[in-house]
Structure 1
Amino acid sequence: MLTAFKSVAKQAHYLSLIGIFLSPTIVYALPAGVEQITSVEGVTEYRLKNGLKVLFAPDASRPNTTVNMTYLVGSRHENYGQTGMAHLLEHMLFRGTPSMPNALGEFSKRGLAANGTTSLDRTNYYATFAANPETLNWYLDWQADVMVNASIAKADLDAEMTVVRNEMERGENSPFRVLMQTMQSAAYQWHNYGKSTIGARSDVEQVDIEQLRAFYRLYYQPDNAVLIVSGQFDEEQTLAHIAKQFNAIPKPERELPPEYTEEPVQHGSKTVMVRRQGGSPIVAAQYHIPAEADPQFTPLSLGISALGDTPSGLLYKNLVEKNLATSVFSYAAGLRQPGYALFLAELKDDMDPQQALTTLNQTIEEQNQALSQEDLDRIRNQWLNGWSQTYADPASLAAALSESAATGDWRLFFWARDQVESVQLDQVKTALKTWLVADNRTNGIYEPTSALARAPKANTPNVAALLSDYKGKTHQNLADAFDPSPNNIDHSTQREIIELDDQLGIVRVALLPKPTRGDRVHANLAIRFGDPDSLKGSRTIGSATASLLAHGTKKYSRQQIEDRFTELQASVFFSGGPNGVNVDIETVGNNLAPTLDLVLEILREANFPESELNKYKAQRLTQINNAKAEPSALANLTLSRHLNPWPKDDIRYTPTFEESAQYVQSLSQADLLAFHERFYGAGDIRFSATGSFDSETIKQQLKKGLKGWKRAPDYKRAADPYHAVKAEHFTINTPDKANAFYIETLPLKLQDSEPDFVPLYLANYLLGQSETSRLWNRVRVSEGLSYDVRSRLQVSSYEPSASWTIYAIHAPENSAKLQAVIQEELATVLKEGFSEQEVQEGIHALLRYRQLARSNDAVLTSTWQSYLDLERTFAWSAHIDEALQKLTAKEVNAVVKKYLQPTAFSSALGADQSKQ
């Protein structure tokens, strides 16, 4: 859990649903059979008479709701011959009950963003949806139904088996995951943490249906479950409904089997080697560490994160900066019982794995005492920023409480924060010295071809005793609710054009101030420049320039920039290409202005240090090399090049992997400086923000930050008009890959302002976008050929240019059957069309998903960016909703027949030809 918060804080694309929790004070009578247990910082625990734990984390500021049912059973509970059973049951429960045989389909009809996951310690099922009491009650009813009535039929098991096997094979394609499994198996002598959650292929394929049902009846019971509801909902009504539905389930008479296997202390270092075709070299080190609830875990985890931090960590400095690796990574797994820490470095082909591994081990074990107070404070601030983002987001909070419940008690989520806030540097150093020793280490090497120092024995903490008197901090109260209707979004948004001084151009802004929990705000800044003619030959240079903006300026180093963003509690992500740059920002409202000030300074003063450029080149070359062996990357690239009409020097051209590598290798600091000097400047700028902030302050900050900057060359969008393409079919051999990838695309002449767009938008949803779609039901549910099969419709807002794409991952021995089944479904749709019931259910689901999207601040911010460019408002979104509601099956089927031409699709298949 500790390192997970840090990664969340660094992922700018992560979508927060931020709000303020309702008061935990109960002002209504509890239903019969329900007891209130405790409350910490807006999260309240109730207990039903059958043992079910219920957690409420209400938040009125966002009109969506998340429900997470966590069963305290994972792969650690599996016995001999049962590996993969917990994960298999995760799939089987979605197969439904006698009263609801297709749960995923029903979720899709109701606009639920739903899924399930299995880990070492738990299995959970969760859904997020636009706040609606009927939908909430319906989903709770399904959870109660599936807790005791899951069918787990042999026919469903047989149908799902290929899907599970396909998921397993997808993991086998990843060198990292294969190396990780091999290392864990070597590191653990007895404990089930040494076994992969996906399970042994033999166990999964030969699973006994009666054993599977017995496993379900043993663990999927109310006294082994935690039901979490977060977001906007009526607490009194919801608790009453939960009591009615779940109290009817009796408390089981069985006792859960005791867990008495303890992993012994490791008595010497181990090394494993994995050799497979494709990918880049990897070296890694794994160590046994205490459980998450052990007080030693917090200082140890922070130290581990500091060692692997980029670019401040010792591993980065000793490996990446010295050209021994292209990237490094560290992670401490917070588990219910004593777990593990992992350190990893990825290399280029010409780097020496043994030298990198030696340096990795020496840095971890011999230099860890060099960590400074500055290193600790940096990691602590990153961790606490991530924690705050998670706490502010109802969906993320539900997931975090689920993980904490699995590691011993949901209150560990708050307790861990307290530990992080108080940990001292000497505690970190002591923990690192104690646990990161050679005799506690398992090394791993992936090739595309000694004094004793034992760690002490780790014990599983008594979490109940640890938290018996824990109360948490003083809880803050409500933010006002916000109506996400298109009309209210438009009414609440300030849309203006800011004239810059000295004829530097304009800034189009869309500012939506609104209350959020934790005063969070999402913002996006877009700067565009140049035209296709002036930008010829600049595709790779433009992308590298955008990627390296925050790696140094005339005043600040990369580390100083990152530290300042951390201090501002800001997640900032720069991206772009030759035609412009985008900056995604998430922070607290009071810090938006200083964050924007630093962003604008970076955009103006970036100096692209040569050392950072060399690291960037090494990382990109490693990524390109890895992609050259991946079926999905090869198939996508082959089809993209076939459909691409542009010459090599055009910024719209799709290069080969070899060309991409050559372009990256040829990059120089002078190239980036010259590109930046020529094209970056004011002129065509858009800024949008949603959340808690002061509009006038931000407008003044934009004018101040852009004052005195040069004017950029005039922007002209790189058009991508429709062009006819002769259908062709490509097969790419990917030796030694257990998984295959099929994709086919049909170019269309269509713009989203045309009358045909909305019916085709719905038709794509019905064909392959949802879990009730024709392709999903036939390819995955009925035939069991693919873990993921979808169709995707992309339609331009600028010109009549669109594409319709279908893709599926699958086992290579099923490629021919998969393609045949897809063609059969397309023929059936053309011949019979979609029924009126399908169309109406699809309309209902799409409207729910669109409503859910409008409740998300990050989505609102990015949508305003698009609307500013297109001179649209959310009245356009309302127009799409209205057009959807009026559709009939006759209209949808007419448009399908007009555009769907199965023989006109071009396709690409990436697969091991020896298995075809």
Structure 2
Amino acid sequence: MKPLARLRSLILVAVAAGLSWSSMAAPAASASSTRGAIAPVAKTSTLRPVQQVEGITEYRLANGLQVLLVPDDAKPTTTVNVTYRVGSLHENYGETGMAHLLEHLIFKGSPRHPNVWAEFNQRGLRANGSTWFDRTNYFASFAANEDNLHWYLRWQADAMVNSFIARKDLDSEMTVVRNEMEMGENNPGRILLEKTLAAMYQWHNYGKSTIGARTDVEGVDIGRLQAFYRQYYQPDNATLIVSGQFDEAKVLAWVQRYFGAIPKPKRVLPSLYTLDPVQDGEREVTLRRVGGVPLLYAGYHTVPGAHPDHAAVELLSLVLADTPSGRLHQRLTEQRLAAGVFGFTEGLRDPGFLLLGAQLTPEQDVAAASRVMIETIESFGAQPVTAEELERARAKWLKDWDRGFADPQHVGVALSEAVAQGDWRLFFYTRDRVRQIALADVQRVADQYLLPANRTLGRYLPTAEPRRAPAPQRVDLAEVMKGFQPAPAPERVAAFDPSPANIDARTQRLRLPSGMQVALLPKPTRSQAIQISVALRHGTADSLKGWGEAPTALAAMLDKGTRQRSRQQWQDRLDALRADVRFGMSAGTLSASVVTRREAAAEVLALVHEALSEPALTQAALDEVRDQALAALAEQRKEPQAVLAEAIGRRDNPYPRGDVRHARSFDEIAADWQALTLEQVKAFHARFIAGSHGQLALVGDVDVTAVMPVLNTRFGDWRGSEAREPIPQPLQPVTPGTIRLHTPDRQNAALLVQLPLALNDRHPDYPALMLANHLLGSGGDSRLWNRLRETDGLSYNVYSAVQWQSRDLHSTWYAEAIFAPQNRDRVERGFREELTRALREGFSEREFQAGRQGLLNFRRLARAQDNRLAGAWVGLLDLDRTFDEAARLDAALSALTLEQVNSALRRYLDPDKMVWGWAGDFPDAAGR
């Protein structure tokens, strides 16, 4: 298992490389079948307990279904996950992409549940599905609710054996899947990774993209797809995981009732035996396309996730690619040979891989960077792993693991990866191996696998005496696990009521002598977790003029050392305390987001204050963030969604260059970065950054007595003399019309529609328009989603939203969709027809009732997330509000009538006043 923050998130291209999701936003649409409906029967499979490990109890039905219960009352949410041990690994010739297609079609309905998406939305379920090499999983999180839990378990049992998997659904969904492929085709990093893995694996299916070959997907035989479904979607090939707050006895009874009614299949699953031979020489792959920035990948074959040596591979990934401690960061990024480095390893059922890489700016030398990258990765013979490197990597890995284990929503889904590797207890086994592994073992694994002959990169180098990695081998799980001793189960904590009234009643609010406002919300959490949010408001519209990229650069440099500690020392201390800190900047607000634990909160707050008040601000750090910003900017210049946002943002923008409200072009942003000096960054920090106008919120297992001295001594005396006024954002007229932009060599296109509105979140029409937009484009059963994705199958992601302002009467309604360029006319026609129909006919009573309930459920779910609570409090404190605001809005939503919602939609959404933007490589080449 990987720690939370590191599970394919170290690099975005890794996620896009093959991990395919049914929906980008939330629920993944409806479920269905070709076998009779599940109903309670008198004779069902018996549910029996198997074992308990660290608070997780395993049960097994006689039909083979494995059940894991992970109770945690600390957070009033429940997560249900069903993992099927089937992925792209199990596909035969001509079947690539079949597991992913099934993931889509499961959500297309069954006789019992013909419109699951609408039911998800009405119940406020944040649901999704994903397909990977070894498994497919389906999961949903929701505010703890027995009715929703009961319903979702019954749906999952029904979907397991009764999904339609029908020809008509395959035809309508085909365009959506193709659009998902095209979305990936726009990402050079994803395609390069796909081709690198294909070069690494010559025979094994890990060399094939999970989304499949286009010809296989387009030519799939519905009979073969149905047979694939019947073979693998069975109880003996599945694991059901329920985590969070729930009644265990009731869950077991429901599982017995619905899943126990499914008979044990008589078929025998095929035995998979293909393994790639040892790689016997460097391999090379080169990709050339328009746009983007240079990327380098170096891939090395390693061991299965269940192998004892996998822990060493995980730690080597950090030793090499972590920032700022990693060898690659120090020898590439700090030496300005690359803009940034990254790395990750995949723990899989069969021998997996370690991938390391670097992103360059267009001006940097690819040959020089690749030479240094390879020398660094394969240098462990001459420069062995040090004890300091091992302990630093171990601390970071365990910190991430602990944070993930504290989150029941994460645990429920993360166990899928261990299940796919062969045994859910590997989730703990790998943790224990990381804790115990010796320096000599890490060095041995580096010596065995980080070899030229085991490398896949961008060039070929012959060698007279090849050294080869150990032969691939499967793992004897019984032998591996026989000595496994689980740690004691964590203590269960009391439930928390996330109602606005209880949140307000439990929150302590105060103002420090400096002027900083503080909110403290002590509440029970698993593993004593705490979320901290800080917002330092500063400046006025006049005083913030002309600073260019100085504010953004400052935020990016805050985690790169202080006057008291080097960058590495500051990061090492955070890792030792198992804390994470992220800084950000928007116009007039410097923010910090912190994750820590009860016993470390006081010291972590002191470290955050140290970084905010006494940053090192070195030239090397500025050069690094400048290179990374320019590299990201170079990527955006060819991306349809980015160029549309630039063009529409600049349309009729009345503010002059230098004003923080001015919409800059790509060229202006690049010029500001190039002109930025270290002295400007230091001057901005000295003038504006202090606690006088700031807000700070702590939510979680807070020891108020322990943190108050730090708040008083560090933040209480941190005053600034600079005035602060919220930056006015008055409504500005925008010329309606259409913008069409040509983005060559992009297989995905984008639509962006915008309309400014004379509204804010205190306007009487706020609740009605919020719900109207939910029904039109942001809810799971919305008109735009149902038309463009579900019915026409044209877009992988389509939605509308309102960017609400709290002060000025200037909010913005907008809508977005992605699609294949050749489908532009159909997308426009469908979008306009649905908008016109909603304005002309209004929404139905069914839509209104279901949508309102769903929106209220989603709002309750948001209040159950500690990070959302901390972020909300810093905003409420600045506005002199409390969570009573949320209670009033919930009451207003509950009191709305259908007539009020339809009236608000017609009053504010006028297609003739909108700006319509299109960008893509359209057939007419000029954007028409």
On whether the aligned pair clears a TM of 0.5, the verdict is yes
Work out whether 1:269 is the aligned partner of 2:278. no
Q: How does 1:491-510 map to 2 (within 5 A)?
A: 491-498=505-512, 500=513, 505-510=514-519
SS in 2 for 1:659: helix
2 CA distance for matches of 1:604 and 1:93? 53
In structure 2, runs of 5+ residues without a counterpart are: 12-43
Answering whether residue 430 of structure 2 is matched by residue 416 of structure 1, we say yes
Q: Report the counterpart of residue 802 of structure 1 in structure 2.
A: 811
Q: Which residue of 2 aligns with 1:20?
A: none
- 1:581-620 superposed matches below 5 A: 581-620=590-629
Shift of 1:852: 0.7
- 750 and 578 in structure 1: CA distance in 2 versus 1, 3 angstrom threshold: closer
Secondary structure, in 3 states, of the residue corresponding to 1:152? coil
Question: Secondary structure at the residue paired with 1:129?
Answer: strand
Deviations 1:449-484 (A, max 9, x none): x34111111211022342245340112322111111
C-alpha distance in 2 between matches for 1:305 and 1:591: 23
Relative to structure 1, is the Cα distance of residues 115 and 34 closer, same or farther in structure 2, using a 3 angstrom cutoff? same
Distance 2:215 2:900 in 1: 49
The answer to whether structure 1 residue 114 and structure 2 residue 127 are counterparts is yes
Please name the residue that 1:87 is paired with.
100
Once the two structures are overlaid, the 10-residue window that deviates more, 530-539 or 407-416, is 530-539
Matched-pair contact (CA < 8 Å) for 2:754–2:915 = yes
Which residue of the other structure, out of 187, 191, 200, is the alignment partner of 1:178? Answer: 191
Q: 338, 342, 359: which is aligned to 1:329? A: 342
2-structure distance, mates of 1:670, 1:177: 38
1:125-148 deviations in Å (ceiling 9; x for gaps): 000011111110100111011101
**Could you tell me which of 228, 239, 255 is aligned with 1:215?**
228
The answer for the alignment partner of 2:31 in structure 1 is none
Deviation string for 1:611-658 (max 9, x for gaps)?
A: 111011100000000000111111111111115332111011111111
1:394 to 401, 408, 411: 408
Partners of 2:691 and 2:67 lie apart in 1 by: 53
Q: How many angstroms does 1:8 deviate by?
A: 9.1
- Once the two structures are superposed, residues 5-33 of structure 1 have per-residue CA deviations (whole angstroms, 9 ceiling, x without a partner) of 5469999xxxxxxxxxxxxxxxxxxx970
- Separation of aligned partners in 1, 2:328 and 2:3: 16
Any idea what the Cα deviations from partners look like across 1:309-353, whole Å, max 9, x if unmatched?
A: 111111111211222111111111110100111011111111121
Letter in 2 for 1:838: E
SS at structure 1 position matched to 2:763: coil
Aligned equivalents of 2:358, 2:494: Cα separation in 1: 47
Of the three residues 315, 325, 337, the one matched with 2:328 is 315
Q: CA deviation at 1:489?
A: 0.7
Report % sequence identity.
Answer: 44
Contact 1:742-1:910 within 8 A present in 2 as well: yes
Is the counterpart of residue 432 in structure 1 residue 449 in structure 2? no
Match of 1:19 in 2: none
Matching residue within 363, 370, 373 for 1:360: 373
Aligned pair partner of 1:40 in 43, 48, 53 = 53
With normalisation by structure 1, the TM-score equals 0.95
1:789–1:578 distance in 2 versus 1, CA, 3 Å = closer
1:709 Cα offset (Å) = 4.0
Q: Distance in 1 between matches of 2:482 and 2:160?
A: 29
Contact kept? 1:541, 1:578, Cα under 8 Å: no
Q: Distance in 1 between matches of 2:588 and 2:816?
A: 29
Q: d(CA) in 1 for partners of 2:72 and 2:924? A: 52
Does structure 2 conserve the Cα–Cα contact (< 8 Å) formed by 1:33 and 1:247? Answer: yes
Q: TM-score, normalization: structure 2?
A: 0.94
Q: How many pairs were matched up?
A: 889
Matched, 1:57 2:66: no
Structure 1: distance between partners of 2:10 and 2:577: 13
CA RMSD of aligned residues (A): 1.6
Gaps of 5+ in 1: 12-30
Whether contact under 8 Å (1:93, 1:152) holds in the other structure is yes
Amino acid at match of 1:251: K
CA contact (8 A) 1:750 1:757 kept: yes
| Residue number in structure 2 paired with 1:24 | none
Matched, 1:162 2:193: no
Greater CA drift, 1-10 or 713-722: 1-10
Specify which of 146, 152, 155 is matched with residue 159 of structure 2.
Answer: 146
Whether the 8 Å contact between 1:3 and 1:301 is mirrored in structure 2 is no
The equivalences for 1:818-857 within 5 A come to 818-857=827-866
Match of 2:255 in 1: 242
How far has the Cα of 1:256 moved from its partner?
A: 0.2
Counterpart of 1:243 in 2: which secondary structure?
helix
Q: Note if 1:664 corresponds to 2:673.
A: yes
Partner amino acid for 2:608? V
Distance in structure 1 (CA, Å) of the matches to 2:772 and 2:82: 33
Aligned to 2:244: 231
Relative distance call for 1:855 and 1:4 in structure 2 (3 A) is closer
Counterpart pick for 1:482 among 490, 496, 502 = 496
Query: Using a 3 Å threshold, how does the CA distance of structure 1 residues 400 and 874 change in structure 2: closer, same or farther?
Result: same
Supply the AA of the counterpart residue of 2:594.
I
Runs (4+) of structure 1 moved beyond 6 Å?
A: 7-11
Q: Is the 8 A contact 2:639 2:743 kept in 1?
A: yes
Correspondent of 1:749 among 758, 766, 774: 758
Given that residues 87 and 135 in structure 2 are in contact (C-alpha distance below 8 angstroms), is that contact kept between their aligned partners in structure 1?
A: yes
Structure 2 partner of 1:98: 111
Give yes or no for contact 1:515–1:692 (8 Å, CA) kept in 2: yes
Tell whether the 8 Å contact from 1:549 to 1:574 is kept in structure 2 after alignment.
yes
Q: Secondary structure at the match of 1:328?
A: strand
Which of these residues, 535, 542, 550, is aligned with residue 541 of structure 1?
Answer: 550
What is the SS of the residue equivalent to 2:651?
helix
User: Residues 527 and 580 of structure 1 are in contact (CA less than 8 Å); yes or no, is this contact kept in structure 2?
Assistant: yes
The counterpart of 2:466, out of the listed 445, 452, 477, is 452
CA displacement 1:744-789 (0-9 Å, x = unmatched): 1011101111111101000000001022000001111111110000
Partner of 1:21: none
Query: Which SS does the other structure have where 2:812 is aligned?
Result: strand
For the 8 Å contact 1:9–1:382, the answer to whether it is kept is no
Partners of 1:311 and 1:465 in 2: CA distance: 38
Q: Is the 8 A contact 1:179 1:444 kept in 2?
A: no
Query: 1:679: Cα distance to partner?
Result: 1.5
Alignment partners' CA distance in 2, 1:100 and 1:141:
10
| Paired residues of 1:836 and 1:888 also in contact (CA < 8 A) | no
Give the equivalent residue in structure 2 for 1:371: 385
Query: Structure 2 counterpart of 1:715, which letter?
Result: R
Look up the equivalent residue of 2:861 and give its one-letter code. Answer: L
Partner of 1:127: 140
Q: Is the 2:380–2:447 Cα contact (8 Å) retained in structure 1?
A: no
